[in-house]
Protein backbone atom coordinates (compact mmCIF):
# COMPACT_ATOMS: atom_id res chain seq x y z
CA UNK A 1 0.00 0.00 0.00
CA UNK A 2 1.62 3.22 -1.13
CA UNK A 3 0.20 6.56 -2.17
CA UNK A 4 2.36 9.41 -3.40
CA UNK A 5 1.22 13.02 -3.08
CA UNK A 6 3.39 15.62 -4.82
CA UNK A 7 3.84 19.05 -3.28
CA UNK A 8 4.36 21.29 -6.30
CA UNK A 9 6.71 24.13 -5.42
CA UNK A 10 8.91 24.55 -8.48
CA UNK A 11 12.53 23.76 -7.72
CA UNK A 12 11.58 22.92 -4.12
CA UNK A 13 8.89 20.34 -5.05
CA UNK A 14 8.85 17.06 -3.14
CA UNK A 15 6.78 13.95 -2.61
CA UNK A 16 4.86 12.83 0.44
CA UNK A 17 4.93 9.04 0.34
CA UNK A 18 2.24 7.42 2.46
CA UNK A 19 2.01 3.71 3.16
CA UNK A 20 3.00 0.81 5.37
CA UNK A 21 6.58 -0.39 5.87
CA UNK A 22 8.20 2.90 4.87
CA UNK A 23 10.48 2.94 7.93
CA UNK A 24 11.88 -0.42 6.84
CA UNK A 25 12.28 0.95 3.31
CA UNK A 26 13.96 4.17 4.49
CA UNK A 27 17.42 3.28 3.13
CA UNK A 28 16.05 2.73 -0.36
CA UNK A 29 13.77 5.79 -0.16
CA UNK A 30 16.43 8.26 0.98
CA UNK A 31 19.28 6.82 -1.10
CA UNK A 32 18.67 8.95 -4.23
CA UNK A 33 18.91 12.17 -2.15
CA UNK A 34 22.34 11.41 -0.73
CA UNK A 35 25.65 12.64 -2.08
CA UNK A 36 27.55 10.66 0.54
CA UNK A 37 26.30 7.55 2.37
CA UNK A 38 25.72 9.21 5.76
CA UNK A 39 22.66 10.71 7.48
CA UNK A 40 22.05 12.43 10.83
CA UNK A 41 18.77 11.43 12.45
CA UNK A 42 17.17 13.52 15.20
CA UNK A 43 14.34 11.90 17.11
CA UNK A 44 12.89 11.76 20.63
CA UNK A 45 13.52 9.13 23.28
CA UNK A 46 10.08 7.50 22.91
CA UNK A 47 10.28 7.15 19.13
CA UNK A 48 13.91 6.02 19.42
CA UNK A 49 13.03 3.16 21.75
CA UNK A 50 10.14 2.01 19.57
CA UNK A 51 11.37 2.48 16.01
CA UNK A 52 15.01 3.67 15.68
CA UNK A 53 16.46 0.17 15.41
CA UNK A 54 14.32 -0.53 12.33
CA UNK A 55 15.41 2.71 10.72
CA UNK A 56 19.08 1.93 11.45
CA UNK A 57 18.76 -1.56 9.92
CA UNK A 58 17.14 -0.22 6.80
CA UNK A 59 19.87 2.39 6.32
CA UNK A 60 22.60 -0.17 7.04
CA UNK A 61 21.19 -2.54 4.43
CA UNK A 62 21.77 0.19 1.84
CA UNK A 63 25.27 0.95 3.13
CA UNK A 64 24.23 4.28 4.69
CA UNK A 65 25.91 5.24 7.98
CA UNK A 66 23.60 6.72 10.62
CA UNK A 67 24.31 8.93 13.55
CA UNK A 68 21.38 9.71 15.88
CA UNK A 69 20.37 12.14 18.62
CA UNK A 70 17.33 11.44 20.83
CA UNK A 71 15.80 14.50 22.50
CA UNK A 72 13.42 14.33 25.49
CA UNK A 73 9.80 13.79 24.38
CA UNK A 74 7.18 16.53 24.80
CA UNK A 75 6.35 20.12 23.89
CA UNK A 76 8.94 21.41 26.41
CA UNK A 77 11.68 20.25 24.02
CA UNK A 78 10.56 22.76 21.36
CA UNK A 79 12.54 25.71 22.74
CA UNK A 80 15.92 27.40 22.55
CA UNK A 81 17.74 24.92 24.83
CA UNK A 82 17.09 21.75 22.79
CA UNK A 83 17.30 23.70 19.55
CA UNK A 84 20.83 24.84 20.44
CA UNK A 85 21.70 21.31 21.48
CA UNK A 86 20.43 19.95 18.17
CA UNK A 87 22.28 22.50 16.00
CA UNK A 88 25.54 22.01 17.92
CA UNK A 89 25.21 18.23 17.69
CA UNK A 90 24.69 18.47 13.91
CA UNK A 91 27.83 20.61 13.65
CA UNK A 92 29.77 18.12 15.80
CA UNK A 93 28.61 15.37 13.42
CA UNK A 94 30.17 17.46 10.64
CA UNK A 95 26.93 17.71 8.68
CA UNK A 96 27.70 19.66 5.57
CA UNK A 97 25.54 21.63 3.13
CA UNK A 98 25.16 18.71 0.74
CA UNK A 99 24.06 16.32 3.53
CA UNK A 100 20.56 15.37 4.62
CA UNK A 101 19.15 15.62 8.14
CA UNK A 102 16.27 13.34 9.14
CA UNK A 103 13.50 14.47 11.49
CA UNK A 104 12.06 11.26 12.93
CA UNK A 105 9.15 11.89 15.30
CA UNK A 106 6.00 13.91 15.89
CA UNK A 107 5.32 17.61 15.42
CA UNK A 108 7.81 18.77 18.06
CA UNK A 109 10.74 16.95 16.46
CA UNK A 110 9.64 17.87 12.91
CA UNK A 111 9.33 21.59 13.69
CA UNK A 112 12.54 21.83 15.72
CA UNK A 113 14.72 19.75 13.40
CA UNK A 114 13.28 21.46 10.31
CA UNK A 115 14.27 24.81 11.81
CA UNK A 116 17.74 23.49 12.70
CA UNK A 117 18.10 22.32 9.08
CA UNK A 118 16.93 25.74 7.85
CA UNK A 119 19.69 27.60 9.68
CA UNK A 120 22.52 25.05 9.75
CA UNK A 121 25.20 26.28 7.35
CA UNK A 122 22.48 28.62 5.95
CA UNK A 123 20.29 25.68 5.06
CA UNK A 124 20.68 21.94 4.58
CA UNK A 125 18.12 19.53 3.16
CA UNK A 126 15.96 17.48 5.49
CA UNK A 127 13.56 14.56 5.35
CA UNK A 128 10.50 14.24 7.55
CA UNK A 129 9.48 10.84 8.90
CA UNK A 130 6.38 11.79 10.93
CA UNK A 131 5.37 9.26 13.59
CA UNK A 132 2.07 10.71 14.83
CA UNK A 133 -1.20 11.12 12.96
CA UNK A 134 -1.06 14.85 13.62
CA UNK A 135 2.42 15.16 12.11
CA UNK A 136 1.52 12.94 9.14
CA UNK A 137 -1.52 14.98 8.13
CA UNK A 138 -0.30 18.44 9.04
CA UNK A 139 3.01 19.51 10.52
CA UNK A 140 5.41 17.42 8.39
CA UNK A 141 4.02 18.88 5.15
CA UNK A 142 4.34 22.48 4.02
CA UNK A 143 7.67 23.64 5.43
CA UNK A 144 6.60 25.54 8.54
CA UNK A 145 9.43 25.01 11.04
CA UNK A 146 10.21 26.66 14.34
CA UNK A 147 10.29 26.68 18.11
CA UNK A 148 8.39 28.22 21.02
CA UNK A 149 9.71 31.05 23.17
CA UNK A 150 8.61 32.57 26.48
CA UNK A 151 6.35 34.87 24.46
CA UNK A 152 4.37 32.11 22.76
CA UNK A 153 4.24 29.15 20.43
CA UNK A 154 5.99 29.00 17.04
CA UNK A 155 7.13 32.62 17.27
CA UNK A 156 10.63 31.89 15.95
CA UNK A 157 11.07 29.85 12.80
CA UNK A 158 11.43 29.68 9.07
CA UNK A 159 9.72 28.34 6.00
CA UNK A 160 11.96 25.47 4.97
CA UNK A 161 10.49 22.71 2.84
CA UNK A 162 11.58 19.11 3.37
CA UNK A 163 13.03 17.19 0.42
CA UNK A 164 10.86 14.15 1.12
CA UNK A 165 8.18 13.09 3.61
CA UNK A 166 7.74 9.42 4.47
CA UNK A 167 4.50 8.81 6.36
CA UNK A 168 4.50 5.19 7.56
CA UNK A 169 0.96 4.55 8.72
CA UNK A 170 2.15 1.34 10.40
CA UNK A 171 3.45 3.46 13.31
CA UNK A 172 -0.07 4.67 14.09
CA UNK A 173 -0.74 1.27 15.72
CA UNK A 174 1.79 2.14 18.45
CA UNK A 175 0.14 5.44 19.40
CA UNK A 176 -1.95 5.84 22.55
CA UNK A 177 -5.64 6.25 21.60
CA UNK A 178 -5.70 9.78 22.98
CA UNK A 179 -2.87 10.84 20.62
CA UNK A 180 -4.60 9.19 17.68
CA UNK A 181 -7.87 10.99 18.46
CA UNK A 182 -5.98 14.25 18.87
CA UNK A 183 -4.45 13.81 15.38
CA UNK A 184 -7.90 12.99 14.07
CA UNK A 185 -8.91 16.53 15.08
CA UNK A 186 -6.64 17.81 12.28
CA UNK A 187 -8.07 15.22 9.84
CA UNK A 188 -11.63 16.41 10.49
CA UNK A 189 -10.40 19.98 9.97
CA UNK A 190 -9.64 19.24 6.29
CA UNK A 191 -13.18 18.02 5.62
CA UNK A 192 -14.62 21.02 7.42
CA UNK A 193 -12.48 23.60 5.68
CA UNK A 194 -12.72 22.42 2.10
CA UNK A 195 -14.18 19.01 1.29
CA UNK A 196 -17.68 18.16 2.46
CA UNK A 197 -17.45 14.78 0.66
CA UNK A 198 -14.44 13.93 2.84
CA UNK A 199 -16.40 14.95 5.94
CA UNK A 200 -19.27 12.64 4.81
CA UNK A 201 -16.69 9.86 4.43
CA UNK A 202 -15.28 10.55 7.91
CA UNK A 203 -18.75 10.40 9.42
CA UNK A 204 -18.98 6.84 8.08
CA UNK A 205 -15.39 5.66 8.38
CA UNK A 206 -13.87 7.75 11.22
CA UNK A 207 -14.17 4.85 13.70
CA UNK A 208 -12.14 2.64 11.32
CA UNK A 209 -9.47 5.34 11.02
CA UNK A 210 -8.91 5.47 14.78
CA UNK A 211 -9.67 1.76 15.16
CA UNK A 212 -6.56 0.76 13.20
CA UNK A 213 -7.98 -0.16 9.78
CA UNK A 214 -4.98 0.37 7.50
CA UNK A 215 -6.89 1.13 4.31
CA UNK A 216 -9.13 3.68 6.10
CA UNK A 217 -6.00 5.26 7.62
CA UNK A 218 -4.31 5.36 4.22
CA UNK A 219 -7.29 7.15 2.70
CA UNK A 220 -7.65 9.61 5.60
CA UNK A 221 -3.95 10.53 5.62
CA UNK A 222 -3.74 10.72 1.82
CA UNK A 223 -6.82 12.95 1.42
CA UNK A 224 -5.61 15.24 4.22
CA UNK A 225 -2.14 15.51 2.67
CA UNK A 226 -3.61 16.09 -0.81
CA UNK A 227 -5.60 19.01 0.54
CA UNK A 228 -2.64 20.45 2.40
CA UNK A 229 -0.31 19.97 -0.58
CA UNK A 230 -2.76 21.80 -2.85
CA UNK A 231 -3.10 24.74 -0.48
CA UNK A 232 0.64 24.97 0.21
CA UNK A 233 1.54 24.88 -3.47
CA UNK A 234 -0.86 27.75 -4.15
CA UNK A 235 0.12 29.81 -1.08
CA UNK A 236 3.39 28.65 0.47
CA UNK A 237 3.96 31.58 2.83
CA UNK A 238 0.38 32.17 3.97
CA UNK A 239 -0.46 35.33 2.11
CA UNK A 240 -4.05 34.11 1.71
CA UNK A 241 -5.52 30.66 1.29
CA UNK A 242 -3.07 28.86 3.61
CA UNK A 243 -4.71 30.63 6.55
CA UNK A 244 -7.68 28.25 6.04
CA UNK A 245 -5.50 25.57 7.63
CA UNK A 246 -5.91 27.53 10.85
CA UNK A 247 -9.61 26.66 11.11
CA UNK A 248 -10.31 26.22 14.82
CA UNK A 249 -6.83 27.46 15.76
CA UNK A 250 -7.63 30.91 17.17
CA UNK A 251 -9.88 29.33 19.80
CA UNK A 252 -7.42 26.46 20.18
CA UNK A 253 -4.42 28.69 20.86
CA UNK A 254 -6.31 30.63 23.54
CA UNK A 255 -7.40 27.38 25.21
CA UNK A 256 -3.87 25.96 24.99
CA UNK A 257 -2.46 29.10 26.62
CA UNK A 258 -5.16 29.01 29.30
CA UNK A 259 -4.27 25.40 30.12
CA UNK A 260 -0.54 26.11 30.11
CA UNK A 261 0.20 23.88 27.07
CA UNK A 262 -0.25 20.96 29.43
CA UNK A 263 -1.62 17.46 29.26
CA UNK A 264 -5.05 18.95 30.05
CA UNK A 265 -5.47 19.76 26.36
CA UNK A 266 -3.53 18.25 23.45
CA UNK A 267 -3.19 20.40 20.33
CA UNK A 268 -5.51 18.31 18.16
CA UNK A 269 -8.10 18.25 20.95
CA UNK A 270 -7.98 22.04 21.02
CA UNK A 271 -8.35 22.10 17.21
CA UNK A 272 -11.47 19.91 17.42
CA UNK A 273 -13.06 22.10 20.11
CA UNK A 274 -11.94 25.18 18.16
CA UNK A 275 -13.57 23.89 14.95
CA UNK A 276 -16.84 23.32 16.80
CA UNK A 277 -16.63 26.87 18.20
CA UNK A 278 -15.74 28.36 14.79
CA UNK A 279 -18.89 26.79 13.32
CA UNK A 280 -20.91 28.05 16.30
CA UNK A 281 -19.52 31.54 15.72
CA UNK A 282 -20.30 31.29 11.99
CA UNK A 283 -23.88 30.35 12.80
CA UNK A 284 -24.26 33.26 15.25
CA UNK A 285 -23.00 35.63 12.59
CA UNK A 286 -25.68 34.28 10.24
CA UNK A 287 -23.12 32.75 7.90
CA UNK A 288 -24.23 29.14 8.11
CA UNK A 289 -27.28 27.13 9.15
CA UNK A 290 -27.71 25.67 12.66
CA UNK A 291 -27.39 22.23 11.06
CA UNK A 292 -23.67 22.72 10.30
CA UNK A 293 -22.39 23.24 13.90
CA UNK A 294 -24.74 20.48 15.12
CA UNK A 295 -23.26 18.05 12.58
CA UNK A 296 -19.69 18.99 13.54
CA UNK A 297 -20.37 18.44 17.23
CA UNK A 298 -22.29 15.21 16.59
CA UNK A 299 -19.34 13.72 14.68
CA UNK A 300 -16.74 14.72 17.27
CA UNK A 301 -18.93 13.30 20.04
CA UNK A 302 -19.57 10.07 18.10
CA UNK A 303 -15.78 9.67 17.82
CA UNK A 304 -15.40 10.05 21.61
CA UNK A 305 -13.41 13.26 21.17
CA UNK A 306 -13.27 16.38 23.28
CA UNK A 307 -15.94 18.55 21.66
CA UNK A 308 -16.86 21.31 24.10
CA UNK A 309 -14.93 23.59 26.43
CA UNK A 310 -16.74 21.63 29.17
CA UNK A 311 -14.66 18.57 28.21
CA UNK A 312 -11.42 20.29 29.34
CA UNK A 313 -10.61 19.26 32.93
CA UNK A 314 -9.81 21.90 35.60
CA UNK A 315 -10.44 25.63 35.87
CA UNK A 316 -10.48 28.02 32.93
CA UNK A 317 -10.45 31.81 32.82
CA UNK A 318 -13.64 33.69 31.91
CA UNK A 319 -14.71 34.69 28.38
CA UNK A 320 -13.05 38.12 28.65
CA UNK A 321 -9.70 36.60 29.56
CA UNK A 322 -9.93 34.04 26.75
CA UNK A 323 -10.73 36.85 24.33
CA UNK A 324 -7.61 38.69 25.54
CA UNK A 325 -5.53 35.55 24.90
CA UNK A 326 -6.91 35.48 21.35
CA UNK A 327 -5.81 39.07 20.92
CA UNK A 328 -2.24 37.90 21.48
CA UNK A 329 -2.45 35.27 18.77
CA UNK A 330 -0.06 35.85 15.89
CA UNK A 331 -2.98 35.55 13.48
CA UNK A 332 -4.23 38.89 14.75
CA UNK A 333 -3.57 41.55 12.11
CA UNK A 334 -3.36 45.19 13.32
CA UNK A 335 -5.23 44.30 16.52
CA UNK A 336 -8.27 43.05 14.59
CA UNK A 337 -9.67 39.60 15.32
CA UNK A 338 -9.20 37.36 12.33
CA UNK A 339 -11.01 34.04 12.22
CA UNK A 340 -11.52 31.22 9.80
CA UNK A 341 -15.29 30.96 9.52
CA UNK A 342 -17.54 28.77 7.37
CA UNK A 343 -20.58 29.14 5.15
CA UNK A 344 -21.14 25.38 5.39
CA UNK A 345 -19.24 22.18 6.00
CA UNK A 346 -16.39 22.24 3.47
CA UNK A 347 -16.74 25.98 2.79
CA UNK A 348 -14.39 27.91 5.07
CA UNK A 349 -13.09 31.41 4.42
CA UNK A 350 -10.91 34.03 6.12
CA UNK A 351 -12.94 36.65 7.99
CA UNK A 352 -11.25 39.89 9.05
CA UNK A 353 -12.66 42.13 11.75
CA UNK A 354 -14.91 39.63 13.51
CA UNK A 355 -16.94 41.50 16.16
CA UNK A 356 -15.42 40.73 19.60
CA UNK A 357 -18.90 40.88 21.19
CA UNK A 358 -20.09 37.88 19.17
CA UNK A 359 -16.93 35.93 20.01
CA UNK A 360 -17.44 36.83 23.69
CA UNK A 361 -21.04 35.58 23.50
CA UNK A 362 -19.95 32.26 21.98
CA UNK A 363 -17.30 31.82 24.69
CA UNK A 364 -19.69 32.81 27.49
CA UNK A 365 -22.20 30.25 26.32
CA UNK A 366 -19.51 27.58 25.93
CA UNK A 367 -18.15 28.28 29.41
CA UNK A 368 -21.64 28.19 30.91
CA UNK A 369 -21.83 24.54 29.82
CA UNK A 370 -19.18 23.85 32.48
CA UNK A 371 -20.39 22.75 35.90
Residue nearest to ligand GLY (CB): 245
Task: Classify 157 as helix, strand or coil.
Answer: strand
Neighbours of 94 (CB within 10 A): 10
User: 160 an active-site residue?
Assistant: no
Q: Which is nearer to ligand GLY, 130 or 142 (CB)?
A: 142
User: 51 an active-site residue?
Assistant: no
**Nearest to 255, CA basis, from 332, 208, 190, 314:** 314
Q: Which is nearer to ligand GLY, 245 or 281 (CB)?
A: 245
Q: Which of 17, 78, 267, 297 is catalytic?
A: 267
User: 88 an active-site residue?
Assistant: no
Q: Which is nearer to ligand GLY, 44 or 138 (CB)?
A: 138
Q: Which of 29, 51, 153, 186 is catalytic?
A: 186
Interface ranges with ligand GLY (CB under 6 A) = 138, 142, 144, 242, 245
Q: How far is the CB of 186 from ligand GLY (least distance, A)?
A: 8
Q: Which is nearer to ligand GLY, 21 or 230 (CB)?
A: 230
Q: Which is nearer to ligand GLY, 99 or 138 (CB)?
A: 138
Give start and end residues of each alpha helix (H) in the chain: 26-30, 45-47, 53-61, 80-92, 107-119, 133-134, 177-194, 196-211, 214-234, 249-258, 267-284, 291-302, 319-327, 356-368
Q: How far is the CB of 150 from ligand GLY (least distance, A)?
A: 22
Q: Which of 238, 241, 331, 360 is catalytic?
A: 238
Torsion of the alpha carbons at 171, 228, 86 and 75, rounded to the nearest 10: -70
Q: Which of 17, 153, 219, 228 is catalytic?
A: 228
Q: How far is the CB of 232 from ligand GLY (least distance, A)?
A: 7
Helices (H) then strands (E): counts for the chain: 14, 11
The per-residue DSSP string of 7-25 comes to E--GGG-EEEEEESSTTTT
Q: How far is the CB of 257 from ligand GLY (least distance, A)?
A: 17
Neighbours of 45 (CB within 10 A): 15
User: 186 an active-site residue?
Assistant: yes
Tally the C-alpha atoms within 13 A of residue 250's C-alpha that lie toward its C-beta.
29
Q: For residues 186 and 198, what is the distance between their CA atoms, to the nearest angstrom?
A: 13
User: 144 an active-site residue?
Assistant: yes
Q: For residues 97 and 278, what is the distance between their CA atoms, to the nearest angstrom?
A: 43
Q: How far is the CB of 231 from ligand GLY (least distance, A)?
A: 8
Q: Which of 249, 257, 295, 297 is catalytic?
A: 249
Which residues are annotated as catalytic?
A: 122, 144, 186, 228, 238, 242, 246, 249, 253, 267
Amino acid sequence: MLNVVPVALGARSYDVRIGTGLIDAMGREIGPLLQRRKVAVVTDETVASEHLMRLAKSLESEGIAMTALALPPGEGTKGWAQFTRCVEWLLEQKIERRDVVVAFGGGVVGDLVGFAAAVLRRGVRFVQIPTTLLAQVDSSVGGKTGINTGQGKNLVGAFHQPSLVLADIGVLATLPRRDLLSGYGEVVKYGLLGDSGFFDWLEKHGPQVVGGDASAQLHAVTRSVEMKAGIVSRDETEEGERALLNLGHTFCHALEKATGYSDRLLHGEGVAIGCALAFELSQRLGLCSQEAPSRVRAHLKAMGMKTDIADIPGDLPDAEALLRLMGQDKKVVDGRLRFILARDIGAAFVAEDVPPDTVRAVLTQALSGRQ
